[in-house]
A and B are shown apart, each in its own frame.
Chain A
Amino acid sequence: MTNSKVFACPVIGEAYEKVIHSSGLTVYFMKKQEKAKKAAMIAAKFGSINYTFTAPDGRRVTVPNGTAHFLEHKLFEGEKGNAFDFYAKTGAKANAYTSNDKTAYYFVCSDHFEENLDVLLSFVTHPYLTKENVEKEKGIIAQEIKMYEDEPGWQGYFTMVQGLYQEHPIRRDIAGTVEDIYSLTPEILMDCYNTFYHPSNLVMAVVGDVDKNVVFEAIDRYFPGNTDISVGDMPIIEPDPAGERYVEKAMLVSRPIFHLGFKDNDTDVSGKELSKKEMEVDILLEYLFGKSSPFFKELYESGVINHEFDCWYDLSDYFSFCVINGESDDPKKVERCAFEHISELKRSGIDEERFREIRNGLYGSLVMETDQAYSMANRMVGNYLNGAETFDAIEVLHEITTEDLQKRAEKMFAEERSCLSVIYPLKEE
């Protein structure tokens, strides 16, 4: 251990430690006394957007869509067997996911934490890719891809992202197409592994009633040296306006499904400022479109939308956008109404009382979330990759003013940076 810092949130009696291990690996450790569940996550800063990069030997490599996700599936395989076979002996719930900007592996367990941690670190540090086991995975992933092709919610969301962004690699499909993945070989996957899975490009988080020494002894074992390879940042060029203002697709759904996206143009923010921005946007989303908003009331009471309605903020180091999603027979009307409420907010400002209510609500949810081991591990990993610290959110919440919100609204919500995607019903013959 070379470098360690404690982050505390005294009002709720919680604290976590951030350690930069001698290998270059960043580790978050949050002790939760007497809790049953323990969670550990390790993530590589490698997602679907990293499709082109310089390998450690200097070669320029460009990979098909779906490569990061395929590698996620394959890392579970080890020379001595599948990681699931080992987890099976301990009863852990283990899984992994690949997003636009990261690949995360985790487990949640009540018992046998030490053995589970050993399994997790072992397979993530020991890739075992053979021609046979790569071929075998293609059938499974092809079915996963086909499942997503039939999911209207996912299709609507992804169509919106592709409309919103013009050049950004977020437009690339996380799972790829069946053709993409059939072109993958162990060599391509190893190029990715060697580039992205070294300690300084990984982050780990452990939450629960766990002995800290156990965690760091395991880390010492699996990350003995220091191989600091600079990955180099993904240069991202994205024009300001949305690529398309409207996109649509027909599928077997009973009622049109809409996703209205707003692309942020204030993306050069990091650290505490990023946490503040995240809280500002969360407050604005509830203020403008949440269940307590006049927008929701108006559209719900007139039957334009129903309870299948949600809004959220997708934020990373590489992209930042908001989504309003629901079912409606008249998605254009939802869009019009959203624009009206945004203009109204920009014109007349924020109602102080509602702002305080929403801030209270957000505070309560953030505090309640600290009871959940998996959520905290996931949040600490995500925040680290975005250059932020998890307790900053609770801290900055009370620094936000109505003026900040109004400024934020200008940057976050603009018609020319929005895209409406509609999945409309395809009638079966």
Chain B
Amino acid sequence: MNKIVSIKEFQKTEKGTFTIEMSRFIEASPTTIWQIFSNKATLAEFMECEIEGDLEIGAAIKFIWREFEGDKDKCSGINGGHIVNMIPGTLLSFTWGDENPARGLPWGSTLVEFKIEAERNGSRVTIIHYDLPSEEEAHNHTGGWTMFLEKNTVSWTN
């Protein structure tokens, strides 16, 4: 049986931003994983959204999320920035933010890396999301996440 290994970290860096890191062992070669990352259609299938822009270093990229409300298909948000690096079989990185900064992260303000390493009979894929603002910074910039936190605070009487 194929064992799934997941490592998750939420670390504060010296500059006061946060990093999320998580990985999985996948029973597929780095070439196969790269095939998914380097093709717009398969990358869109993986991200479960529409992708706008070319997969080239420096190109702008948009991840467009759609949801069905009843029978109506509507855009529920757009994330993205630009492609920072593409190393075949090894790395895809791009900046990431929200088109609507009131939702939290300014456009292209954080960095996402998809790293591929050969491991046993497959690959280890690691997703690292850098430069995430602290709750306090997010509040200073946008009021976004703190607003969500307050909005979703639940109180009840025992």
Tell me if chain B binds chain A.
no
* Chain B interface residues (CB < 8 Å from chain A): none
